[in-house]
Amino acid sequence: MEALVLGHMNPDADSILSAIALQNLMTQRGFKCKACAQGKPTKDTAWALDKFGFEAPEIITSVKDQILFLVDTTDTEQLPNDIAEAKIKLVVDHHHLGQIFTSEPLEMWVRPVGCCATIIKEMYDAYKIEIPKNIAGILMATILSDTMIFKSPTTTDADIKAVEELSKIANIENVKEFGMEMFTIKANINLPAIELLNKDLKNFETKEKCRFSIGHLEIMSIDLIKDKKDELVAEVKKLKEKNNLHTAALMVTDIEKEGSILIIDSVAEEKIAQNLNCKIENNVSDFLPGIMSRKKQITPTIINCCA
């Protein structure tokens, strides 16, 4: 039976491009599988797909009775509703461990690096399988996307080394220039506030059933959303109310200044402000220097403040 290679909801570059690369690697290892996605590629992902000659993966919403190879998430909140009825046989991830359950043994590659694509590169090496040129291209694009061209605190030496080696295989000389081209597309903010919030929104639920949602917007400068701030605040408030959440937030990261602001509505606003050592006024935090990672910095803070 053919396995489905699948990433998280509101798929980013890692959830789509790493799924395609993992399909290639696992096929070369002799497993029948196909990359899928839980949504359409974002503009930057579409750019990379086009550049390296790949089609967008088929969109799926149900995984009942399927065999799954998961990439970039193990959170049931970010997987199809019938995830409990799928058989997970492989996990490649770089997030906190989520709530998936398996009844049979599985293969897991989970490491705290900047991107799943880095782990997949290491899998190719471990299995001594050659990386095709166009696969090297999408793996490299994915690492640059997930690590914000190595500026995110999630970046490790393994990510930098992987890009070095992949750029040679893909024959891309100027890695920075390549990354900036992709980010200029990723950072497009000419969208309605609701779409900016939903573009990279993740839902979480803790063991204690504390539910929260965090969106992440990575842009060249926070000044670019100045005129949209009020609308974004309104959308964040609506999201919290509609889903009866503990916290709804949009993290807006300034790639140049290497920090973020949080647009936030939370029952624990004061505690969160204390934890982040900042002020939150009218649902907007001060600029938080060095805060660029949702998974490593903001999600753990909110989980701490759930208790």
Nearer to Mg ion, 12 or 235 (CB): 12
Site for Mg ion in 139-158 (CB under 5 A): 146
For Mg ion, the nearest residue by Cβ is 14
Smallest separation (angstroms) from Mg ion to the CB of 10: 9
Q: Residue 215 is encoded by which pair of tokens?
A: 């969106």
Task: Name every residue whose Cβ is closer than 8 Å to that of residue 174 and which is 6 or more positions away in sequence.
Answer: none
Q: Is the separation of the CB atoms in 216 and 251 below 8 Å?
A: yes
From CA 266, how far away is CA 259, in angstroms rounded? 21
Dihedrals phi, psi of 185, to nearest 5 degrees = -75, -45
Per-residue x/- track, 6-35, Mg ion (CB under 5 A): ------x-x---------------------
Nearer to Mg ion, 12 or 75 (CB): 12
75 touching Mg ion, by CB under 5 A: no
Start-end of H helices in the chain: 13-28, 43-52, 116-126, 133-146, 157-170, 175-186, 193-198, 229-243, 269-276, 299-306
The number of residues that bind Mg ion (CB under 5 A) is 4
Counting every residue written for the chain, the total comes to: 307
Smallest separation (angstroms) from Mg ion to the CB of 117: 8
The residue range among 72-80, 82-90, 101-109, 154-162 that interacts with Mg ion, by the rule CB under 5 A, is: 72-80
- Please provide the distance, in angstroms rounded to a whole number, between the alpha carbons at the two ends of the chain: 43
Residue 232 CA, distance from chain mean position = 21
Sort residue 73 into left (φ over 0), alpha (ψ -120 to 50) or beta: beta
From CA 215, how far away is CA 234, in angstroms rounded? 14
Nearer to Mg ion, 38 or 273 (CB): 38
Nearer to Mg ion, 146 or 254 (CB): 146
Smallest separation (angstroms) from Mg ion to the CB of 153: 12
Smallest separation (angstroms) from Mg ion to the CB of 265: 21
Smallest separation (angstroms) from Mg ion to the CB of 123: 15
Nearer to Mg ion, 268 or 293 (CB): 293
Smallest separation (angstroms) from Mg ion to the CB of 154: 9
Per-residue x/- track, 99-138, Mg ion (CB under 5 A): ----------------------------------------
User: Please, which residues bridge with residue 284 across strands?
Assistant: 263, 281
Smallest separation (angstroms) from Mg ion to the CB of 281: 26
Helix (H) or strand (E) holding 266: strand 259-266
Task: Name every residue whose Cβ is closer than 8 Å to that of residue 242 and which is 6 or more positions away in sequence.
Answer: none
Binding site for Mg ion (CB under 5 A): 12, 14, 72, 146
